[in-house]
Structure 1
């Protein structure tokens, strides 16, 4: 019988490392058997570690060394296998064999009594790697997000890795400032990889070495005051740079060159003046890179420059069509679903579509008509409103049946949510239509618009090809004309085309 063998690359780990069993950590692939980790690491003080075995049929584990216990040693299909070893004063390692239907998976089992020095991985390798594996990287600090915990980004030229937490020299948390790490420094650090909300991180890393950068941006000033944000109308920003290398070069990203330029370089490159053009769009920002060299190696320091912009009013569809960035948009919509009101997580819709709002300030309720301002963010490829701010709750509406709406008292202050199929368009200029529900009850809407402000009242129905047979959702008040009930000045927040 012909057998297949698979010997995965083994990455050395600390003695305290525990393997993960999530589906995303499956790293070895054979036709008939696969495991969730290419190795098992047991603590020197003794203990257990588990992996998952996924097999197409019956499987067995053989070549088990005396110093480790495996349970179970055979099974069928998907099984969790536990490896247990007592405390040890010396390091142990061996390979066990998992066999199923002719396929053999070789799995390394190790119990290290001393710390194993990790080889340096590239940032690209970390980003392609697996969670719950310890990695060591070396690269330049490009951004520091939190100076207490030590959250920062490190780039080695192959990619960038987010560091979530940096331990101090004694292994303690929340003492990042004691390390003296600054943007531009080259840091050698190591820690376990985790994934949080789609972001790959090395968590609570240990710093092995810090190589100070030969260049540093000390401060930036706008109009005589320290800061990095230019006004809407444009202006100048001055960056003050300390350099111990040979010369200074300045790099402005291509996508910012149409609005940001260098106006002057003074004092041997230690004072650089940038000029920003007036901004007719939303908020924008860029990152400037300052570079020097010691003749052998380049050193960099980076600084963010931002410019305030106008807030652009958009429909949901237009918002979704914009690019991810810092531009600010204003949307008005009906709250159609609330995931977490307190933390500002909900969905809004208008007549063009629906979008998710993530962590907007201000608390809303289902069926509120809200106006929010935020930027185009994205989560796993899906657009969402990020960094949002609730500007206004325009109305709090009550869902109601068409029959109950017709029977309700007239009021200019009470808003209702109605849904019905258009049975007749009496006037497509002003949007006078009849809608009907599944019971046959009808409501006359005297004016249907797409804009809560009421500025664009005419031809909304015609311009958006809304026709008889389409189902619409509107927010309206209840009035009467010659004792006949009607909705007035209805705003459309949903359209379902007739099939």
Structure 2
């Protein structure tokens, strides 16, 4: 098999979608294609444009090896020809087509063929990645390019906006995190951008050309826009079975129960249906008529739930499969789907009195009522809103009236104190009093604060910051609030020290100062800014192992790693110093 870069290199700027316009969406100018491919032996390719104003291709963006005719004109229709002589190396260019104050980017590539590569299995690819992974949570690349064959076993994203796809492949077509390779932001067949979102699907067999890496322990293909690297599909063998349609189209069942039907295209012998074990208590097959399978869901009294259904067929020697994901809406006000502040206000206002059962409400503390902090009575009174702003508007402000502390217990001296900016989930009876939507006095409590239900490892406030373990627990809940995390720097991430170019740093912290190589104990400060929530500049103190830090910002998890959200958090204090 011959590997051709085709448009993989330059398409990355289109595939990641950063600042470029989508094809044909500009009112000032429309183009038939936004990429051009010229043979390595020399030749030409062309596109058609319709301009509503004077236009030109910025001469500074046209390289010496490329000829463009015409490269400017007035309003009207044009046929633009791109030509280049023979080359021994791959040439790429990103041209700027200017019209009416807007820019349409045209990607041009003259590709050179690569040496023939041996096709390897997914298992072989995983072995290569494992050999370079040092097990410290860092990112490590495997040298060279590889041709990997596998079956798509799980689809993460098919982005028609960014023109790329993220999915998993395995040797047997079954998803297992230990036996599957993630194809990260890969391109389509021969490097074509993802345009429709149905170019390939679970069950299809693919052969990809790629570079391999371990990203924080996850085996995946390399995607690097700046270096012009992405996985491309060279061979696509469609499955004998695929989903033709789903009714309803959004594959969503109401919370009070209902049905969803999946119609299949099947060129194999028979249809076999697999309902996940975890979904069998609420989802069942109600009928099979030809290639249409109908499923029935029971009433859902909790949060939203979903299931990925597998449909299999065979040609007598080999099994093929496809998948369909369905969702059942949850009951709002439940733990899994708490009321927003606005939903709680609307619900209890329509009710006009106290609720018969307990509900959950999520919001951010916006104001502490006068003498409303927790004290000798064991309860507190404060206001919450969806964004943490006190609006002085009873349609946006909900009162947590005389709520108890965590675990539905009265607050006692020594417990952490409530603070403005903390995200809370309240649980209890709701009511409305003189137009104010609120919790019923002493009949509700704080179920969670900043994502945790225990204060053993802190609650993420300035007065009671999270430990590393507390931040790890909170990150799973991804609270919307900015929280505080205290710890000791245990290891600097590869090239993670502060630098003047980006002004941020990445490092690990723990409660003891030791790097444990354990995601249950190590928390990553990912691309955090410096003291005062500003970029680090030359002359500022550099971060070092052993430093005592307190971080402030939002938390998240990424591929199992609990961390700060990149460039949204900062070092609040460094060895006791603040700014």
Q: Tell me, yes or no, whether TM beats 0.5.
A: no
Q: Where is the strand percentage greater, Structure 1 or Structure 2?
A: 1
TM-score of the two chains, using structure 1 as the length reference: 0.44
User: TM-score normalized by structure 2?
Assistant: 0.38
Pick the structure with greater CA Rg: 1
